[in-house]
């Protein structure tokens, strides 16, 4: 019996070419394993093209990298509670962009027991010339390309009307979503986790999967379906975790290929 209700939210980046192919790739693959999948775009053309087949919403000025926009999405979700089964013990939302592949089964295994407010994702160190001039400024942030997951309690605390600390108008809150979410999560007392496996591999991977391989022939052997399952798994064990949850910076073709490996070759997941 399933005890986790998972909503997947896809934030479409305005600069991506052939956006409709990415959204259809997501819809045809891992989105089918989410209890609900919502797409957000700033393109009225994309909305008109896909509104009959996808649960897609138009938000002007969409920029997933900006905290002011991300907070709007959180408030939209907070005001739109889903109808879920009484057997559900916890509710989560995964946020990705159109270039992310989400291994839903692996995510569900990780979050099934979580009860407290929690935010999961890849933490990275982002430095700029400003950070060297002001060494005490925050340089750690969530990598948005690899996807993040928030419990319903975390969303409620961040998006709630009584929370003044996380407002985008608060000058202490960073403008970049990855930094602001980490700072805000800490302020509300959320459990922050950048999960790794027993071998030290991160479960959220923001780098393109092709670039993870140390040799070109490794990438080729992984990406060609003619390889045996043993060969595929041997290559993956050198680059990333079998328990991996999110992969970023993929093409729409890579998303479909990843789905094949996850569900047919069983390269990732249990």
Structural domain includes residue 67:
yes
CATH code of the domain in which 165 resides:
3.90.550
Give 3-state DSSP helix, strand, coil % of the chain, rounded to 5: 40, 20, 40
Structural domain includes residue 208:
no
At 261, is the pLDDT very low, low, confident or very high (cuts 50, 70, 90)?
confident
Structural domain includes residue 215:
no
Q: Which residues contact 162 (CB under 8 A, 6 or more apart)?
A: none
pLDDT digits (tens, 9 = 90+) for 9-23: 999 999 999 999 999
Q: Which residues contact 126 (CB under 8 A, 6 or more apart)?
A: 139, 140, 141, 176, 178, 179
How many domains is the chain built from? 1
At 220, is the pLDDT very low, low, confident or very high (cuts 50, 70, 90)?
very low
Give the alpha-carbon dihedral of 19, 105, 261, 54, to 10 degrees: -30
Instruction: Please tell me what DSSP assigns to residue 27.
Output: H
According to DSSP H, which parts of 166-212 are helical? 177-187
According to DSSP H, which parts of 29-151 are helical? 44-50, 67-78, 104-111, 129-133
Structural domain includes residue 113:
yes
Q: What is the pTM of this model?
A: 0.86
Structural domain includes residue 225:
no
Q: Which domain holds residue 139?
A: 4-195
pLDDT at 242 over 50: yes
Average pLDDT over all residues of the chain: 84
pLDDT digits (tens, 9 = 90+) for 61-112: 878 889 999 999 999 999 988 877 766 678 999 999 999 999 999 999 999 7
Structural domain includes residue 257:
no
Q: Which residues contact 252 (CB under 8 A, 6 or more apart)?
A: 18, 21, 22, 24, 25
């Amino acid at each position: 019996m399933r005890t986790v209700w998972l909503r997947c939210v896809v934030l479409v980046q305005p600069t991506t070419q052939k956006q409709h192919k990415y959204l259809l790739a997501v819809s045809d693959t891992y989105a089918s394993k989410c209890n609900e999948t919502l797409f957000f775009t700033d393109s009225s053309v994309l909305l008109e093209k896909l509104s009959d087949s996808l649960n897609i919403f138009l938000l002007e000025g969409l920029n997933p990298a900006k905290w002011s926009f991300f907070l709007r999405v959180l408030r939209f979700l907070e005001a739109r509670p889903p109808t879920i089964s009484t057997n559900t013990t916890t509710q989560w939302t995964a946020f990705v962009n159109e270039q992310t592949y989400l291994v839903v089964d692996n995510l569900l295994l990780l979050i099934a027991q979580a009860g407290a407010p929690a935010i999961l994702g890849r933490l990275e160190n982002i430095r700029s010339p400003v950070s060297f001039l002001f060494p005490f400024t925050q340089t750690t942030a969530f990598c948005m390309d690899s996807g993040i997951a928030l419990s319903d309690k975390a969303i409620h605390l961040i998006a709630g009307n009584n929370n003044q600390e996380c407002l985008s108008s608060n000058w202490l809150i960073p403008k970049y979503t990855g930094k602001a979410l980490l700072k805000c999560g800490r302020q509300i007392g959320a459990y922050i986790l950048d999960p790794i496996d027993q071998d030290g591999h991160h479960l959220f991977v923001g780098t393109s999967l092709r670039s993870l391989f140390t040799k070109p022939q490794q990438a080729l052997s992984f990406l060609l379906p003619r390889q045996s399952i043993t060969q595929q798994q041997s290559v993956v064990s050198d680059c990333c975790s079998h328990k991996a949850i999110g992969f970023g910076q993929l093409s729409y073709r890579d998303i479909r290929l990843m789905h094949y490996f996850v569900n047919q070759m069983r390269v990732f997941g249990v």
